[in-house]
Chains A and B, each alone.
Chain A
Amino acid sequence: MQKLAKGWKFAFPVLILFFFAPSYGQIQTKPIVNATIYGKVIDSISRTALPGASVQLEGVTHRVTTDEEGNFNFVTGQKLPATLVVNYIGYKPKIVIVSELPIEIVLEPLLNQLSDVVITGYSSQSKQLYTGSASQVKATALENRPAQSFDQLLGGQAAGVNIVQPSGALNATPVFRIRGINSITSSVYPLIIVDGVTVFTGSAGGDVGNNPLAGINPSDIETVDVLKDASATAIYGSRAANGVVVITTKKGKPGNAKATYDGWVSFSRPFNLPELLNAADYVAIKNEARTNAGLSEGFVLGQDKNGKNIETDWYDVAYHTGVSHNHNFGISGATSATNYYLATNFTDQNGIIRTNNFTQKGVRLNLEHELNKLLTVGVNATYNNSVNSGPNTGAIGPNSVAASTGTSVNTQYIGLQPLGRLTYILPPNVPVYLEDGSYNINAANGNIGYGPNNPSLGVFNAYNLQTILDLDKNRSESNSFVGSVFAELSLLENLKLKTLYGLNHLQVENTSFRNPLSGDGFVTKGSATNGTTKYQRASWTNTLSYATNFGEEHHLSVLLGHEIIKTSVDGWGATRSGMSDPFFTSYQGGWTNITPANNIQSEHAILSYFTNINYDYAGKYLLSVNLRRDGLSALAKGNKWGNFGGGSVGWNISEEEFFKQSAVVSTINALKVRGSYGVVGNSSLNDYAALSIYDAGTYAGFPSLNFSQAGNRNLQWESSKKLDIGLEIALLNHRLNLSVDYYKNDIDGLILSAPQASSQGIPGNAITANVGSLYNQGFEFAINAALIQKEAFKWNVDFNISTLKNRVTSLGDGGDIYPTSLSTFGIQNVTRVGYSAGSIFAVPTDGVNPQNGNRVFINRNDEKVQYDAINKSFSYLDGSVAPRIDNYADGRILGNSLPTYYGGLNNNFSYKNFDLSIGIIFSGGNKLHNGTKATISDQRYFNNGVFIKDRWTEPGQVTDVPKLVWGDSFSNGFSTTISSNVEDGSFAKLKNLMIGYRIPLGKSSLRNYLSSLRIYAQATNLFTVTGYSGSDPEISINGNSINSGKDQNVPVNARVFTAGINVGF
């Protein structure tokens, strides 16, 4: 291995020279004589103009590109007839002899999908010649839809891509998966590249959402290429295990400068809130539980000063109709040497949660300029400021930008401050305000006041939500720059050297304030935390690409590359507490204590060499090889370097003569089979994962050192072996396109936080080691059909569906893997050999014993055990003593938390000036843990769902709600996860419905000012078909973690109605 590493070091420059040396060519120019050749380039099928096609006179370098109308025009010294070579990406190159002017040049597309190229970040390739597995999402699928970040919009748009919108909290990071889960304790987040720059992902906002991807304005995006198999991703080597998403932003199109304005306004409402008890029912139910426990009643239905019953709807305190608006303005254009795209955006969004506000201002400049025949330079840059503020909702996923681990869990859902939980548990029979207008607060502990209830009911550890919304503050501000500058040197027409320097600078400032009256700030007499973190990733990428044809039919392209990526995180902050005067509301005010908070200083580097070789013979036989060698600073000396790579082959059967001669050609227009295999890795390790380290602290004020991480010097690269076999077919005059893929990702030597017996006393009870393996396999189908293509009426359908089977095949010597921290509130997910990662785990139950109202559990020996909540005792149904039920020992895997199938159906209609699109997403085959149901059946002061009225009350009664016993948090699954809260998570959702109208400008005076005008109305989350009894089967609180499928105590999703306008000037 070491030797190989040295070999590479020397081989590389030599290789480079090898490609370099024979490729110097002289550029000849001839004197220009005044003659003009002009004409138009069009598509052979649609007969529409092709802007941007390259037209060149044979034998000379004089070249022009067609304008927006497909026209070209050049002045030359040549006499007619002349020979023109016309090239356009995605079309067959054409050589035409011009003898008459103007000339119409008809290009035949390589495949039906016009101008379809796959952009891999380092290069691009025509889809027809591409042998990897990739899906592309185009700008049209992302435009004009309300969202905070583009990833929220990708659901259902591409085969193999699974997006889950976790809650209605603004800018919460969605779950983003490509072909399942490809790690267990390393990050499971895909690699995201924007114009060659690897961007930060995760949650950066502390208590409020801050998705760094919000820094990429969806309307600036031209294409999103999702690279899935080894062939497509291997060029990203060690970072590609979870798939790669390559985003290309818009460029100016040839022609005059074009200005556009796009704006929308939207209204969001919470939908499908669980129905809770009203005050009268609450009082009755709670008193019944008290009485059953042998305790005095204590809940009282109170009256206000007008004699009306006190009835508080905490949903009204928490939610409202949020009004948002969004504006984009852009100018773009291109001349023969320069193309530019300049855009600004502004958004001001108010979510369904009161006080939750998201504003963003951004500007983008994309510029590419051909300095001379040799050198092209350019810049793609965006600067963005976003501010999200609002309450802690409990919905923010656990994966931070700096540390993204697969086993992370959200622990906020049981925190005291978060809004989601408070809406479910706050008693409905206590007022928000007292008669004198002050907040209803228990002055002894800062909780909600007892109202009419007896204080001997014990602690109501719930805060008055109104005080939290009014007085507490959380704010997360990001200033981000994502950009790159590049220079491309054409050493020859077909030999290019490109150097690109990319920078992603993300500066996040999180501030919070907790009031001293009620809420988390009570015990500290108020507190304020400020923290600022600078995430910086700088990359330098150098590629040398060479393309050549030898013979007539051999096409070869070679890319050699080098890249270095340095990432650093630098954060600091503090918490101040003990307000010196109630006047103060910010960190900078007067306080009596200060403790450090949010301190981090860490960096890592990846150094890489890579190559991509593509060869095809006559467009029939395709071969592609990718190799990458990565060195990572986080690994120990001797293990730093890893080799990754993939190869793929393809066969365009439809290019074969026998195929062209056969009768099928009239139905089957194109047919390609392809296969790929390769090895990629996962480099999302702790920055110093291999080291054993000690952290400083104090004891009694004196310096101390504590063993904080047990390292592993033998830590190596994990390898993810990806296999993909695909078939692409175009039918009925290219109107029906179908692709089918079988994939299998085998991950070996998984980098795992291998659990250690806790008696070893290892920090975190885990060692990072290469143990374990898992695989994902399945099929992907994508169908694109242009069902109706009449002049006036068009109907396009896009359908995709993916299947997924995820299995953990080994966890080394260790046993099951639980979420990172055990919770006193049960274990919902377990990763176990033979099952899907992060499977749903619960103790099976068998209803309620009709004799006594006890919950019946099924223990590890398949015996029925009932729980007497009064005596806290377990017995068999015959009354003899049974061992206690334990979540770990008696729990079982009840199903996978990952859907086994998912996809989307998108219909686009247009009739004259109207357009209509209907987007449906679906997924299924997974289980969901309905934790909110556990919360709202808890027998403390918590409010309950209306279903609680079916509780057991008398012998013989058959019901699934046990007898109510005050203080019981066990029978209904709040402290131990039970199967009666586990439900099927399958659903289909009408995610998006849009109707638009292009206003004909006709002869109106507007025509002098506008070139196009469209208005539209749009609705999101209109309708869900599901058997799931919770609010929304899409809710998932653990973010990009393997512990998915948990819905508990977070705000519901929003239903959004939008009206918008698109103007072209």
Chain B
Amino acid sequence: MMTLLIIKNRLFRPFLFLFGLLFLLLACQKKSLELAPVTSISEVDAYSTPEKMLAQVNGLYGQLSNASYFGGRHLVFNEQRGDEFSQNDGNNSTGANVWNQSISASGDFVNAVWTAAYRTINSANILLERLESQTFLSEELKIAYTAEAKFVRAFTYFSLVQTYAKPYNQDPQSLALPLRLNAEVSGGNNDLAFSTVQQVYDQILQDLDAAEEGLPTGYSSALLNISRAHKASAIALKTRVYLTLSDWGKLIAEAAKLVPDFSPYQYSANNIVHQLEGDVTQVFGGSYIGSEAIFSIPFVIASEAPGQQAALAYNYLSPVLYLNEKGIASHEVFADPSSTDRRKQLLVTNANNQKLLNKFPHNSAPYLDYIPLIRYAEVLLNYAEALAQTGDLSRARELLYAIRHRSDPGYNFNSGVVGSQELVETIYTEKRIEFLGEGFRSWELFRKGLPLPAKQGNAGTAPEISPDAVNYVWPIPSSELAYNKLAPR
């Protein structure tokens, strides 16, 4: 049986020693539970240096350029909901159900756009909070970064309110979105009542006014000037917002900051110039950093570029979408054999005799086309419409002509430019021609309260959606409805 005698036995002394060693080793192991990631930066350190602050700012734009969002798909969806394109691919994963208007609240894309937008917004909100409390940045940078965050937030809310809420001109008091303005870092704040369309626009304009104030006029390189917001970006976006609100006076006031009263139409501030490029086809076709770009997403390296189904080039050239014969492609600018409009060069015809949009020609991976989000041409046309609406027809015409003559110098408008309303229509049509495929079409229909037209394509048919139909705009996604108890049902 057991006895303590043995302890005296020499044989066991080495084992006793081993035991001691063993437990010493065990005691040292506590530290092994203190592991930190080496490929990610923890919250504590993520805002700790000027370089990291700048990286956070870049991250905002990175969120915006998500493939589901302005990196590709969001723009394609806006076109698919409109009538300029016919669907060639019946696959829902390339948006056949967006095109034929049958997507519902639990649809992937309805959720994906919303999620990408709110991630961008939350990143902006977090950065805004961090900027308030941080200490080492210069006042100048702090102001500039704050303004950039507000610009991105406004840009995002504008796209959300266009996609998921009743158009302002239809009912500004209807419930639109949850207006998230505080940083969400640990979740739990699921429930937030929706704000009205009016409240969302008020916030957008408030952010843009503040952004204009705080943004620099420009940056140190042409690439930075197009890829990050500067003063002109905020002003130009305001013209788009006021256009949507039909607030012509405010639109004119903003546009006038960028567009002089008389030709040549040009904006310059310090080292930056915005004007129409001489040849519209040069605006597209790749690494564009010319003076027409006010805000673009530059896909410069392969790892940033969107994947196949999100890439604009893939959608327009493979094609997922070909030009609807009954859309703007039937306009004389594109369809008349004698048309010499440069913009006609942006269309191509494939072996199956389908007309395709060739603004984004890099149709193989990596899809390195730049994506223009705000162009100087848009400011001119927004301005033109406001002037036409308010009776300044001659200046409105001049701006319209500037756009047309850039692409077709010899063209004479023989009709449609005399009366105020017909001029408005002509400008509206010019915008369809100029911005074909750039993601404007359904927004333009919404602001005018026009139905989403019926259309036909190889993949089937899509019915007309009238402005009072429930699916005129996209439904609030299921990922919000399921968890936000205050969401309207």
Q: Which residues on A are within 8 Å of B, measured CB to CB?
A: 13, 16, 20-26, 293-295, 374, 414, 444-445, 455-459, 461, 489, 491-492, 497, 499, 523-525, 527, 542, 548, 562, 564, 566, 577-578, 593-596, 599-605, 607, 631-634, 640, 687-688, 691-712, 754-763, 765-767, 769, 813-816, 821-825, 827, 870-873, 883-889, 940-941, 965-970, 974-976
What's the minimum C-beta distance from A82 to chain B, rounded to whole angstroms? 21
Inter-chain contact A699/B483, CB cutoff 8 Å: no
Distance of B232 from chain A, by nearest CB (Å): 18
B63 contacts chain A at the CB level, 8 A cutoff: yes
Q: A692-B43, A758-B115 are in contact. Are A445 and B105 (CB under 8 A)?
A: no
Highest count of chain B CB atoms <10 Å: which of A593, A707, A756 = A707
**Given A595-B366, A705-B52, A969-B96, also A22-B43 (CB < 8 A):** no
Which residues from chain B contact A709 at a C-beta distance below 8 Å? 40
Closest CB-CB distance, A591 to chain B, in whole Å?
11
B320 lies within 8 A of chain A by Cβ: yes
- Known contacts A633-B35, A872-B462, A883-B470; A593/B302 CB under 8 A: yes
A760 engages B365 (CB within 8 Å): no
Q: How far is the CB of B9 from chain A (nearest CB, A)?
A: 7
Supply 5 further A-B pairs (C-beta < 8 A) apart from A564-B29, A595-B366, A940-B91: A22-B4, A595-B303, A694-B43, A699-B304, A757-B479
A sample of 8 cross-chain residue pairs with beta-carbon separation below 8 angstroms, ordered by A number, consists of: A459-B318, A459-B320, A527-B365, A691-B42, A696-B55, A761-B120, A888-B106, A974-B92
Whether the pair B351, A492 counts as a contact (CB closer than 8 A) is no
Chain B residues, Cβ within 8 Å of A763:
119
Q: Judging by beta carbons under 8 Å apart, are A640 and B59 in contact?
A: no
**Which residues of chain B in 54-71 are interfacial with respect to chain A, using CB atoms and an 8 Å cutoff?**
54-56, 58-59, 61-63, 65
Quote the shortest CB–CB distance from B115 to chain A (angstroms): 5
Q: Is B206 an interface residue (CB 8 A)?
A: no
Report yes or no: A975 in contact with B97, Cβ–Cβ below 8 A: yes
Complex Cα–Cα for A503 and B125 (A): 46
Q: Is the CB of A293 within 8 A of B461?
A: yes
A814 near B483 (CB under 8 angstroms)? Answer: yes
- Least Cβ distance of A185 to chain B in Å? 14
B192 and A759 form a contact (CB under 8 A): yes
Given the known interface contacts A698-B62, A762-B187, the answer about A707 and B104 at a Cβ–Cβ threshold of 8 Å is no
Task: Tell me whether A607 and B29 are in contact (CB under 8 A).
Answer: yes
Residue pair B122, A823 in contact (C-beta under 8 Å): no
User: Are A967 and B9 in touch, CB under 8 angstroms?
Assistant: no
| A427-B458 Cα distance, complex, nearest whole Å | 17
**CB-CB under 8 A for A885 and B104, given A21-B4, A578-B364:** yes
- Nearest chain B residue, comparing its CB with the CB of A634: B35
Segment of B178-186, B256-264, B328-336, B395-403 in the binding face = B178-186
CA distance A270 to B383 in the complex (A): 67
- In the bound complex, residues from chain B placing their C-beta under 8 Å from that of A25 are 1-3, 6
B378 interfacial by beta-carbon distance below 8 Å: no
Shortest Cβ distance from residue B304 to the other chain A in the assembled complex, whole angstroms: 6
Question: Whole-angstrom distance from the CB of A562 to the nearest CB of chain B?
Answer: 6
Residues of A within 8 A of B7 (CB): 21, 24
Chain B residues with Cβ under 8 A from A603's Cβ?
35
A761 near B61 with CB under 8 A, answer: no
Are A698 and B478 neighbours in the complex by a CB distance under 8 Å? no
Bound CA span A593–B362, Å: 14
Question: CB distance B35 to A966 under 8 Å?
Answer: no
User: Does A703 lie within 8 Å of B58, measured CB to CB?
Assistant: yes
Q: What residue of chain A has the Cβ atom nearest to residue B464's Cβ?
A: A871
With a CB–CB cut-off of 8 A, which chain B residues contact A578?
A: 364-365
In whole angstroms, what is the CA distance A523 to B318 when docked?
A: 9
> Are B91 and A710 in contact, with the CB atoms below 8 A?
no
Which residue of chain B has its CB nearest to the CB of A692?
A: B43
| Chain A minimum-CB-distance residue to B191 | A757
CA distance A360 to B481 in the complex (A): 50
Q: Which residue of A lies closest to B457 (CB)?
A: A458
- Top 5 closest pairs, chain A to chain B, by CB: A967-B460, A761-B122, A24-B6, A458-B458, A888-B106
Closest Cβ neighbor of A767 among chain B residues: B187
Q: Is B111 an interface residue (CB 8 A)?
A: yes
A824 and B185: CB pair below 8 A? no
A687/B35 contact (C-beta < 8 A), A696-B41, A759-B484, A761-B184 known:
yes
Query: CB-nearest residue of chain B relative to A461?
Result: B91
Smallest distance from the beta carbon of A759 to chain B beta carbons, Å? Answer: 4
Interface size range on B against A: 35 or more
CA separation between A1005 and B363, bound complex, in Å? 74
What CA separation (Å) do A813 and B178 show in the bound complex? 19
Chain A residues with CB under 8 Å of B87's CB are 458
Bound form: Cα–Cα A427–B340 in Å: 43
Inter-subunit contact B93/A414 (CB<8 Å): yes
Chain B, 182-204, CB within 8 A of any chain A CB: 184-192
Question: How far is B365's CA from A594's CA once the two chains are assembled, in angstroms?
Answer: 11
Q: Are A760 and B190 interface neighbours, CB within 8 A?
A: yes
Residue in A492, A814, A871 whose CB lies within 8 Å of B463: A871
Given contacts A607-B29, A760-B187, contact A595 B118 (CB under 8 A): no
| Interface contact B471-A884, CB-CB below 8 Å | yes
What is the chain A residue whose CB lies nearest that of B366?
A593
Q: Are B41 and A694 in contact (CB under 8 A)?
A: yes
Measured between beta carbons, the chain A residues less than 8 angstroms from B3 are 22, 24-26
B223's partner among A600, A700, A755 (CB-CB below 8 A) is A700
**Nearest CB to that of B313 among chain A residues?**
A523
Does B449 count as interface, using CB distance less than 8 angstroms? no
A523-B308, A759-B178, A760-B118 known; A631+B33 contact, CB < 8 A: yes
- Which residues does chain B contribute within 8 Å of A884, judged by CB atoms? 102, 104, 470-471
Task: Indicate if the CB atoms of A824 and B93 lie closer than 8 Å.
Answer: yes
* CB pair A700 B58 closer than 8 Å: yes
Q: Does B352 contact A (CB under 8 A)?
A: yes
Residue of A nearest to B15 (CB): A489
Q: Are A456 and B2 in contact (CB under 8 A)?
A: no
Say yes or no: B122 contacts A966, CB within 8 Å. Answer: no
Shortest distance from the beta carbon of A941 to any chain B beta carbon, whole Å: 8
| B248 CB within 8 Å of chain A | no
In the docked arrangement, what's the CA distance between A998 and B467, Å?
A: 82
Q: C-beta contact mask, B1-45 vs A, less than 8 Å → 1, else 0? A: 111111101011001000100110010011011111111111100
Assembled-state Cα–Cα distance A796/B26 (Å): 50
Known: A445-B318, A705-B59, A758-B118. A710 touches B187 (CB 8 A): yes
Name the one of A22, A693, A762, A816 contacting B37, with C-beta atoms under 8 angstroms: A693
Q: Choose among B32, B36, B59 the residue that contacts A706 (Cβ–Cβ < 8 A).
A: B59
Nearest CB to that of A812 among chain B residues? B188
- Please give, as numbers and ranges, the residues of chain A lying within 8 Å of B470 by CB-CB distance: 883-884
A459 / chain B contacts, CB cutoff of 8 Å: 88-91, 94, 318, 320, 458-459
Contact A701 B186 (CB under 8 A): no
Question: B300, B303, B471: which contacts A700 (Cβ < 8 A)?
Answer: B300
B273 within 8 A of partner (CB):
no
B35 touches A759 (CB 8 A): no
Q: How long is the Cα–Cα vector from A24 to B52 in the complex, in angstroms?
A: 62
Q: Is the CB of B304 within 8 A of A698?
A: yes
Task: Give the residue name and chain of the B residue nearest to A706 (CB).
Answer: B59
Q: Which residues of A contact B471 (CB under 8 A)?
A: 884
CA distance A888 to B489 in the complex (A): 13
Contact A755 B482 (CB under 8 A): yes
Q: Let me know if A26 and B9 touch, CB within 8 A.
A: yes
Check if A827 sits within 8 Å of B106, measured CB to CB: yes
Give bound CA distance, A688 to B36, whole Å.
Answer: 7
A31 → chain B, closest Cβ, in Å? Answer: 20
CA distance A566 to B31 in the complex (A): 12
B177 within 8 A of A: yes
Asked if B107 is at the interface (CB within 8 A of a chain A CB), the reply is: yes
Q: Which residue of A lies closest to B462 (CB)?
A: A872
Chain B, 264-308, CB within 8 A of any chain A CB: 298, 300-304, 308
Q: A757 and B480 in contact (CB under 8 A), knowing A414-B93, A601-B39, A698-B303?
A: yes
Q: Please name all residues of chain B whose beta carbon is closer than 8 Å to the beta carbon of A708 when the two chains form the complex.
A: 40
Decide yes or no whether B114 CB sits under 8 A from chain A: yes
> Does B210 touch A at the CB level, under 8 Å?
no
Give Cα A596–Cα B301 distance, bound, in whole angstroms: 12
Q: How far is the CA of A872 from the CA of B452 in the complex (A)?
A: 14
